[in-house]
């Protein structure tokens, strides 16, 4: 599995935490920054490249972090084929993989700390999609995208 990760200036510390987790888990990853020091950047400039690389198959999953995770998740979900969940608890991390087959995870560094973010990412990265009736529902989302987006 290859994971692509990025953050804006509000998510740098959690991004570094998740990069170290992926190294520990031997997960292949690409880190798109930001390398913005004390400056500020615009979250869509990071969300779209990550989402596009997942949508076109260059990566299997994406992880996005900003201050709240909200801007990143809104942006990522604009890209066709992306199912991005904004997650701040371990239960939702598990469910959103099992039921929604989410391919992008968003988190907010001004909402949770690095320890919880690490647990969330670990569960999200290691939980499989249950498929079955959930695949039918995902299929309906894809059908809607094909017709309307």
9 annotated to bind ligand: yes
Of 87, 83, 84, nearest to 107 (Cα)?
Answer: 87
- Taking CB under 6 A as the binding criterion, the range among 18-26, 47-55, 65-73, 88-96 that sits at the site for ligand RB5 is 65-73
Q: Under DSSP, is residue 34 helix (H, G, I), strand (E, B) or coil?
A: coil
Decide if residue 41 touches ligand RB5 (CB under 6 A). no
Please name the residues in contact with 90: beta carbons below 8 A apart, sequence gap of 6 or more. Answer: 116, 119, 120, 123
Decide if residue 70 touches ligand RB5 (CB under 6 A). yes
Sign for the CA dihedral angle at 75, 139, 127, 99 comes to: positive
Tell me which residues in 110-149 interact with ligand RB5 (CB under 6 A): none
- Taking CB under 6 A as the binding criterion, the range among 22-30, 44-52, 61-69, 78-86 that sits at the site for ligand RB5 is 61-69
Decide if residue 100 touches ligand RB5 (CB under 6 A). no
Decide if residue 33 touches ligand RB5 (CB under 6 A). no
**End-to-end Cα spacing for the chain:** 28
Binding-site residues, in ranges, read: 8-9, 67-71, 100, 110, 133, 137
């Amino acid at each position: 599995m290859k994971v692509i990760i990025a953050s804006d200036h509000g998510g740098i510390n959690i991004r570094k935490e998740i990069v170290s987790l992926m190294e520990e888990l031997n997960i292949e990853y690409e880190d798109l920054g930001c390398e913005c020091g004390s400056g500020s950047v615009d979250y869509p400039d990071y969300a779209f490249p990550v989402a596009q690389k997942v949508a076109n198959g260059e990566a299997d999953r994406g992880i996005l972090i900003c201050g709240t995770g909200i801007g990143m998740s809104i942006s990522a979900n604009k890209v066709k084929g992306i199912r991005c969940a904004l997650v701040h608890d371990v239960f939702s991390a598990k469910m959103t993989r099992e039921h929604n087959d989410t391919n992008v995870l968003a988190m907010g560094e001004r909402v949770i700390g690095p320890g919880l973010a690490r647990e969330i990412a670990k569960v999200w990265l290691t939980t499989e999609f249950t498929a079955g009736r959930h695949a039918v529902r995902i299929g309906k989302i894809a059908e809607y995208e094909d017709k309307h987006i």
